[in-house]
Structure formats: structure tokens, C-alpha cells
Amino acid sequence: MAQVSSIADDQSSKSITLRIARYNPEKDSERQFMEFTVPYEKWTTVLEAILDVKKHFDHSVAVRYSCRQATCGSCGMIINGKPRLACFTKISELDSNIVTVEPMNNFPIIRDLAVKFERLFDTHHKIKPYLDRDDTELESDAKEFLQSPEELEQYIQFANCIKCGLCNSACPTMATDSSFVGPQALAQAYRYVADSRDKGKDSRLKIIDDSHGIWRCHFAGSCSQVCPKGVDPAMGIQLLRGYMLGFRS
Amino acid sequence: MRESTIMKIHYGTALAAVALVAVHILMRMTMNFADSLEYETVLANYKFIPYAIMLELILVLLSIHGFNGLRVILLELKQGRMYEKAVSYGCLAAMFGLIAYGSRTIIMTNMGMV
């Protein structure tokens, strides 16, 4: 089904070949690539190139996106073999005349570049991604839960997670273990365990302490390499292990 | 057993095995390699009770560590309740089998039955 189409743009001097993976699990037996020649400027992102294709050639290309500024975590995909956010990846920085976009690994495909996030959201929900304590600030004489800057530093890096799923896509354990909690959920478990306001450490550690939990991480570190927000899930997992082995309390 | 307990045992057995195997290698270096593999030398090692105890400990530590490692690999390859139970109990049975067979060799040799 390879197809070559080009967008006429006299003003632009540079163009790339954009290869888009096309696959509809209800109809197709295997993934195929469609090729488009797309003009770009040094600020053009991969998402903009895909939207150009949708606008000028084939509006049926399925892609999930929203904010276009690396905040919503919707446009994760494999770009030239590496999980990245399409809105956060400029074509000029890829240093290649051919840009190949595919759906994220380790996620079921809905169609083309759009994948199902159920597993990610389920595991995220499973680790209780909220402050867990019996008392609340709604009590009559209670005030806000104050934190020192040092206490904030313990977890703030991990609070930057936008649930884009790139870490899960890059994780080699996720590829073979369909029950693995995954780096995203584990990093978020650490985010709340390390929060001085949270009182749910024991229950949270118990949740991830099973045969497909934290111990199945082999510290490949690929999750941290691909994180667009600098969350470093691999470090979070190792710090979390420190709690479980009794090195941290 | 909780997975964290199993993994603490996994790491502990690895560290202890490294220490004891180092002692074992050092002991072998007291003579040249070919002599240390002589039939009579091996029998003498088994009959020297402290050394036989150390060999037994190495056997137990490496069996626990190795079979748990195998269990972990198999659990990552495939999932499913029945499969996971079969892998866990299978590895446990294989571990006890290997320890029993190795211990039998050490004990029989130590008692002069070989």
C-alpha cells in the first residue's frame, strides 16, 4: 500500500519523506506504510507534518493529539524507532530525510498511530495516585498540609509525569510481561510514597510487591531515556526498592 | 510468600554464594588445578567436615538463587494463573530435588559409602 504523495510548497526549500504506519486491526492483516513528501521549516514538528498530511492528502490517518505543547501526553508514537511525543519532536532535530512514524510499542492499536491506554490508566489507578490519609483538610480545625522545600524536592520531579506512555512503550519488560505494572505506575507510586503528606505508603508498597510488580524491573533505563518531561522513572523504581528493602523509611 | 521477601532471599543468597565460592576457589588454589581434580583429592574434600559443610551451603545457596532466577524468567515469558502456579511449584520441586541429590552425594562420600 506504499504511496508517495507530495505537498506543493514553492516557498519551502526543504522537504522530508514522512512514512506513516497504517493499520486497522478490524480489516488489515499487517501493518503497511504510506509515504508522503512534506515540506518543513526548522520549527516544524512531526505532529504538524502528520496534520499536514491529514489536511492535504488523507484525512483518515488516525492520530491522537490535543495540546500541541507536550502537556497533555496524547501524541506519543515511535518516531524513527524511538518513542517520542510528536508535538515535542522537531523534524529538523531528527537529522534524517525520512521520518517514520509508528504507533507506540506495548499498547494495543486502535488504528494507525492511535493506541489504547486502558492498561496504562488501569495500572496508574491501581497504585492509588492520590494523597492517602484518614484526616482531611475539610475537617473543622485543620489547615493546609505544609511542606518544606526539602520535602517537596523528594518527589516533585516525579509529579511532572503527563501519562503519555512513552516509558511503558520503551520498557523491555512490558513487551514480554503482560501483567507488569510498568514504569509509569511505579514512578507514580514513588511520587506518592515520597510525599510527606501521604500516609498510604504501606498499602501502596503492598500493591506493587507482587510477582508482576516492582521486582520485574531489570533497570534497562530505557524508560528514563525516552521520558519527555525528565521524570526518570528508573530512578523512582530504584528509590522505591530502597523502601522495600528497608534502606529507606 | 511476599515477592519482596523472595527477592531479599534472592539477593542474600547471591552475595553469600559469591563469598563462599571465592573461599572455595582460594582453597582450590592451594594446589595446582589438575591435582585438585584428582579422585582422591575430591573424596578427601568431602570427608573434611568443615569443607563438606561449605560445599553443602554453596549447593543450597546456588540452588535457591538459580531456581528463583529461572522462576522469574519463566514468569516474564508467559502469564496466566495456572502457568504461574506450575512454574512456582515446579521450580520449588526442582530446587529441593537438586539439593537432595547433591546432599546425598556429599553425605554418602563423607560417610565413606563411595
Q: How far is CA A47 from the centre of its chain?
A: 15
Check residue B67 and give its pLDDT.
97
* A107 and A169 assigned to the same domain: no
| Domains (range + CATH), chain B | 3-110 (1.20.1300)
pTM: 0.87
Question: What percentage of chain B carries pLDDT values higher than 70?
Answer: 100
* A70 and A152 assigned to the same domain: no
Q: Does B85 touch chain A (CB under 8 A)?
A: no
* A129 and A226 assigned to the same domain: yes
Check residue A246 and give its pLDDT.
87
CA distance, residue B54 to nearest chain A CA (Å): 27
Q: Is the dihedral of CA B8, B68, B42, B50 positive or negative?
A: positive
* A230 and A176 assigned to the same domain: yes
pLDDT along chain A (249 residues), means of 10: 56 84 95 95 96 95 96 97 97 95 97 96 95 73 82 96 97 94 97 93 93 94 96 96 88
Check residue A11 and give its pLDDT.
56
User: Between A173, A216, A244, which is nearest B4 by CB?
Assistant: A244
* A170 and A143 assigned to the same domain: yes
What ipTM does the predicted assembly reach? 0.82
- Domain extent, residue A132, equals 118-244
* A111 and A122 assigned to the same domain: no
Which one of A100, A115, A130 terminates a domain?
Answer: A115
* A37 and A51 assigned to the same domain: yes
Check residue A138 and give its pLDDT.
62
pLDDT band at B36 (very low <50, low <70, confident <90, very high): confident
**Chain B hits for A177, Cβ within 8 Å:** 75-76, 79
Number of Cβ atoms within 10 Å of the Cβ of B112 = 9
Which one of A84, A115, A146 terminates a domain?
Answer: A115
Collect all residues from A whose CB is shorter than 8 A from any CB in B: 173, 176-180, 209-213, 215-216, 244-245
* A222 and A104 assigned to the same domain: no
User: Between B3, B8, B77, which is nearest A210 by CB?
Assistant: B3
Which residues partner with A84 through β-bridges?
A77
Condensed to tens digits (0 to 9), the pLDDT of residues B86-113 reads 999 999 999 999 999 999 999 999 888 8
Whether the per-residue pLDDT at B114 is higher than 90: the answer is no
Check residue A7 and give its pLDDT.
60
CATH number at residue A210: 1.10.1060.10
Q: Hey, are the CB atoms on A176 and B77 less than 8 Å from each other?
A: yes
Question: Distance between CA atoms of A72 and A224, rounded to whole angstroms?
Answer: 19
